[in-house]
Structure formats: structure tokens, C-alpha cells
Structure 1
């Protein structure tokens, strides 16, 4: 079980480099950009290259997976984004999915097409890092299954155009990271949430980071889920407790830290620890 320095996360496979070039070309033919963010970590899940790529194009930000995030914190993030120029922020979660009409209405307001007589054609590009729920959202908006979904990041590999309504089109793009993850704390938050492929960093490293963060900020959730005693203060002690409670033990009855790490991460990603917001908007 790792207790020393964490490995640095880097994940930018060749297909993402290709997708980045294709996205730059696409910007010349769309009217606005939709960026899908994980509501639990909006800042970490926002691609820093997007502002340069979209230049002056208006942006609709969608805080997705709101059912897994703290509601009050999500409202704060929505308020933060809504004061930005040429930006509208919407929300979506499994308990309250964003509808096609809500998206079209927001796009029309953003683009100045909110007058009933206006039938001007527009096209929107929808982007997001891997595993923020973009494909699930897309299938809902299209009223049919267009994209493969799943908890494995980087499922979508090619652009595809979808007709939402008369003169209203949406272009889906592959999930895309950026070449250098300078904010390693943010990168580990993404790994916690499953947005970085597990071949890029070990579950042990992610779980150790998650344990430190949870003990510091969400101890009450840990106590409820794992019957945590006050004596548990370190990531190692937490993972030992997870192993005991979840039955992640070796044949000799000792903690199996690999299985305990996976169990902790699965509980985080599935919402078993409750609604967790890992970031708060700037004051």
C-alpha cells in the first residue's frame, strides 16, 4: 500500500490529440459550444484549452450528475457561471434530466433567437472530458440511443451530427483531456470520479488521495458508511476499516488493500457516500 509520494498523472492518448485538432476545425462551423461538467468537480472537469479553442463563441455549461453532488454547492456553481459573459449554466442529473426543450430555449436566448418569428438555423458543439455523462445526456436529448454509455472513460471516438428540431443541430465530440495536467490535485479528483482511465494511475494511489480528502472534509459520511471510530485518522487506517467492513480480506484475514481501494472508489463514484461536492466556486 503506497504511503510515499504519489505518482504524477498524465493521460493524453493519440486519439485525443486527433480529436483536439478536429474540434478546432469544427469551431468555424458552429454557433455555440456546450461544455458538460461533472457537478462534483466543475473546475477540475473543465478543459482549460476550451476558452482558446472556442474563442468568442457563446457557451452553455451543463453541470451534470447533480444527483451525486451537494445541491447547495451546485446552485453556487450555477450562479458563478451565469454571471460570465455569453454564458448560460444549466443542470442535469438522473433525478432531473435536462430536456431537449430546455437546451434549445437556452441556446435561443444565448444566440438572440428568442423571438417566436425567428427560425434561424444554428448548430451547437457538445464537448466534455471523458466520463462526465455526456453520452447519457446526448441519448436523452436525441430521444434515442446514439452513443455508447458506461463508467469506462473515453467511449466516444468520433464526431456525429444530430438533429434536435427544425433548424436546430447538435454535434457530439469525443471526450477529450489536455496534454499536461498541471493541477495534479484536480487530476486526482478526476481519477476519483472515474474520468481518467485506470491504466493511467493505480487504484491504490487514487484511493490514498481520496482517503486523505474524505477524512479531512467528509468524515461524517465515512462514519456512516464504514462505522468509523474516532481512532481512525490516517488513509491507511481508513482503508483497513473499509477492508473489514466490506469484506476485502486475504485468506489469512488481513486487509486486501487493492480490493479495499476499489471498494472505496466504487462507493464514491456510485454515490454510496452521499452527495459529494469536491470543489466550491471562487468567492
Structure 2
């Protein structure tokens, strides 16, 4: 089964973004610090081509600190780009964002008007609504652990110079790189009803068994690391109540447990991808 999710409202969002770009001075892209490459929407990059960009590495509290530092360094080397790392504490995010936006637009002249406009975007469930609330200093946007929480555009005035426009989370029509699509699914950027949870759980278990065998053993109190993916899922099921009444492994239930544990950081701070080699 190919992993994909591109409902109609995302197509509408793309059309609206194209219209916004003519009057936009800079863009803010919110990225999940665990998947900065897989979570960078190529369609958004095409729409915002040439605009100064501020990349926010959000959810860094769930990512490996060393990998996040490498991504921060890499993104800061891109033309007309700045990067800011965000975790749970977003108390001073507004001042940092305004400072970096001013730096970026000072590099690209002329500014389109006296007041400046930036657009914030990202893939679904990247934490953009939480960032918006922090920037506004009050609850503007509903937050949640399911993608597609934001439904329409919102405008807020950040200060005397900047207006920020929020847009719904958006993927792209065809996820050609299915390894990247798996990373999107593992972090919760694809709506649960659009994927085969058992298949995603199996693929996630296969990856985590290779990358974090000792973490899995300790988290689920396994006596030894199982030899294959089926044995791993069955062992986790026995430890987490994932056995059905017939005594068989409930692969849907254990898949959900495994994905929830990764998404919430119960398997530790783990980044799913590293910056391109030789870019520091």
C-alpha cells in the first residue's frame, strides 16, 4: 500500500498560498525536528521560491539534541534562510522570530510596503498551532495530536511592522519517496484514517528494531531482543495488553501502542534523518 494523503482542503490551501505570495515579504516554515527533510513540503518550497525563509525546528524536545544542532547549522547555510530551534518552552519565541525576520528582509530589497507580511506554513500536526499561540501570546488556534486541526487562514499583528498569516497544514499530492512517507506517518503527519495502521506499525517496528533495539528492550521489559519484526510485535503485545481473546497478537493495537510511544518520546529523543553529508 502506498502511503499518501492529500484531501481537497489541501489543494485549496495551495491555491490560496499562491495568491498570498505576491504581497508576502518572508515565510516561516515550521518543521518537525525529527524529520526536517521528510517534513519539508516541496510544493510549499515551489510556491514560496525566492522569499526569505525562517525555518522553525519545532518539537526539538522529542529529537536528538546533536542531530538538531546539525540541522540548525545546515539550515542556516541555505541562501536567505535562518533557523530557530523550538521545544516545549516558547516563552521568548516572538522576540526571536521578529529579530530573524528583520534580518532576513534586510538582506532582500526592496520591502514591498511599510508594513510587512509573513506567511507561516508547515505539514499537518507539526505543532504550528502551538507556535501561533506562542507568537500571539494568547490562544488563537486549537491544538491537538491529530493532523488537520487548523481549517482556514488567520491573521495576527505581531508588532508595528509585521502581520502574520497562518494557513492550514498541507502535504503534497504524491509522496514519491515512501521512506519519507513512513517518517511522516510515524510522526503523525498523516491522518490515522488515511493509513493502514498495521502496515505502518510493522514498518515502524522494523525500523526501530534496527535503530533502537536496546531502547525497545528496556521500554517493553523484553528479556531479549526478538529475532524478527513479527516476534518483536508479539513480544510487545504480550507486555502491553495487545493479545486478543483468542490469544493472538492484535497487530492493530500493538502498532498503535508503538507509534504512540515513539510520537510521545517514550522511546527517547530520536531523530529519523540527518542533514545531507558535507553540508556543514
- The TM-score bracket by the shorter chain reads over 0.9
Deviation at 1:95, TM superposition (A): 4.3
Deviations 1:247-273 (A, max 9, x none): 222124432221111111110111110
Let me know the Cα RMSD of the aligned residues: 1.5
Deviation at 1:237, TM superposition (A): 1.1
Q: Paired residues, what number?
A: 272
Scaled by the length of structure 2, the TM-score of the pair is: 0.93
Deviation at 1:60, TM superposition (A): 0.3
Equivalent position of 1:144 in the other structure: 138
Residue correspondence of structure 1 range 80-95 to structure 2 within 5 A:
80-95=74-89
Deviations 1:118-141 (A, max 9, x none): x95211100000000000111111
Deviation at 1:227, TM superposition (A): 2.2
Check if 1:131 corresponds to 2:125: yes
- The alignment partner of 1:262 has SS state of helix
* 2:275 equivalent among 269, 278, 281: 281
Deviations 1:137-158 (A, max 9, x none): 1111101111111011011121
The 8 Å contact of residues 92 and 98 in structure 1, kept in 2 or not, is answered as: no
Deviation at 1:54, TM superposition (A): 0.9
The 8 Å contact of residues 122 and 167 in structure 1, kept in 2 or not, is answered as: yes
Change in Cα spacing, 1:96 to 1:165, as seen in structure 2 (3 Å) is closer
Deviations 1:136-185 (A, max 9, x none): 11111101111111011011121111011112111000101101100111
Q: Mind listing any 5+ residue stretches in structure 1 that lack a counterpart?
A: 1-6, 114-118
The whole-number CA distance in structure 2 between the counterparts of 1:36 and 1:281 is: 17
The whole-number CA distance in structure 2 between the counterparts of 1:144 and 1:96 is: 12
Check if 1:109 corresponds to 2:103: yes
The 8 Å contact of residues 67 and 95 in structure 1, kept in 2 or not, is answered as: no
Scaled by the length of structure 1, the TM-score of the pair is: 0.92
Deviation at 1:244, TM superposition (A): 1.1
The whole-number CA distance in structure 1 between the counterparts of 2:138 and 2:270 is: 30
Q: Mind listing any 5+ residue stretches in structure 2 that lack a counterpart?
A: 108-112
Equivalent position of 1:188 in the other structure: 182
Check if 1:265 corresponds to 2:259: yes
Equivalent position of 2:17 in the other structure: 23
* 1:63 equivalent among 29, 39, 57: 57
